[in-house]
Amino acid sequence: MKLLSVIVPCYNEEENIRDFYDELFKNDLFFRENEIDVEVIYVDDGSKDKTVAEVKKLRTEDERVHLLSFSRNFGKEAAIYAGLQKSKGNLVVLMDADLQDPPSLLPEMYKYIEEGYDSVATRRVTRKGEPPIRSFFARIFYRLMNKISKTEIVDGARDFRLMTRQVVDAILAMTEYNRFTKGIFGWVGYETKWLEYENIERKKGETKWSFWKLFLYSLEGITAFSTMPLTAAAVIGALFCILAFCLIIVIIVKTLIFGDPTSGWPSMVCFMLLVGGIQLFCLGIAGQYLSKTYMEVKKRPIYLVKEDI
């Protein structure tokens, strides 16, 4: 018998808990035909609504439902990590509670695992239903990220992924505090089959990711999987040194030939502002890495469990 662990991170998803369960077990025939046992692990990421109560209600009806509840909101990445740690299955799948990751795709994903792939990942080929400005910045992010990072990060990739135990253990071995899962998947490697599908809009409730949250998340991704900004800062600094050196020579020569007229004050101020700005910018880049290092060094737990049922 095979065991499939379904990990569902939930943050204020009370309306979706049961819908997700129903939708998942529409695959019942497929599970039975392939002798797959299922455990559903709802990871409650400190929800403020009735998410926990909903899961508990399901649990009284079906023993295969498990609940892991956090002491507060730790973020989706932490919820994924906790779910992976708790999972016992030899196959594990990550799915959103809002049904944007269609459970009807599971049989096809399973087929590829049977064929010998280590993981089956999904990406959306459209961003229908998303604000255009969000799609625009997402595209820029992926393009930039793939230029400056050696780890492949696929545009439109979702966290919806079916993995073998081997891959899960590899991901669990990465115990970093700043978890950028999209990068971690790429980093661990293994043979991955990509399935594509059109974006599906969220069934109920609303997205938990504001533009600002996404922006911070993208910075996290860059600092976690590339040190290119640090190199860029050093290069900018070096270029400015060379420029300054050339200008000094020009000024000395000019003074020797034409004397010392005290002009050029406004241009001086502009230049000082520019250089000061660049210095602060580069200091900020270094600061980003320092702050991430600081958080890593503290070795705080990635999440805290309140209830484990």
Site of interaction with ligand UDP (CB under 6 A)? 9-11, 13, 45, 73, 75-76, 79, 96-98, 100, 202, 207-209
Residue 286 C-beta: closest distance to Mg ion, Å: 35
* DSSP assignments along 56-70, one per residue: HHHHHH-TTEEEEEE
Could you say which of ligand UDP, Mg ion, none residue 209 binds, taking C-beta under 5 to 8 angstroms by partner kind? ligand UDP
Residue 45 C-beta: closest distance to ligand UDP, Å: 4
Whole-number Å distance between alpha carbons of 291 and 216: 13
What's 25's DSSP letter?
G
Applying CB under 5 A, does 100 fall inside the site for Mg ion? yes
Q: At what angle do helices 211-225 and 132-148 cross, to 10 degrees?
A: 10
Given the complex with Mg ion, which of 50 and 202 has the nearer CB atom?
202
Whole-number Å distance between alpha carbons of 304 and 119: 28
| Element counts in the chain: helices (H) and strands (E) | 11, 8
* DSSP assignments along 228-256, one per residue: HHHHHHHHHHHHHHHHHHHHHHHHHHHHH
Given the complex with ligand UDP, which of 238 and 295 has the nearer CB atom?
295
Residue 13 C-beta: closest distance to ligand UDP, Å: 5
8 contacts 45 by C-beta, under 8 angstroms: no
Could you say which of Mg ion, ligand UDP, none residue 127 binds, taking C-beta under 5 to 8 angstroms by partner kind? none
Provide the mask over 69-98, with x wherever binding to Mg ion is found by CB under 5 A and - wherever it is not. Answer: ---------------------------x-x
CA dist 247 to 252, 253, 257, 277, Å?
9, 10, 15, 19
Given the complex with ligand UDP, which of 75 and 186 has the nearer CB atom?
75
| Pair of tokens at residue 70 | 């956090």
Residue 201 C-beta: closest distance to Mg ion, Å: 9
| Pair of tokens at residue 116 | 């010998």
Given the complex with Mg ion, which of 54 and 96 has the nearer CB atom?
96
Residue 207 C-beta: closest distance to Mg ion, Å: 6
Residues making contact with Mg ion (CB under 5 A) = 96, 98, 100, 202
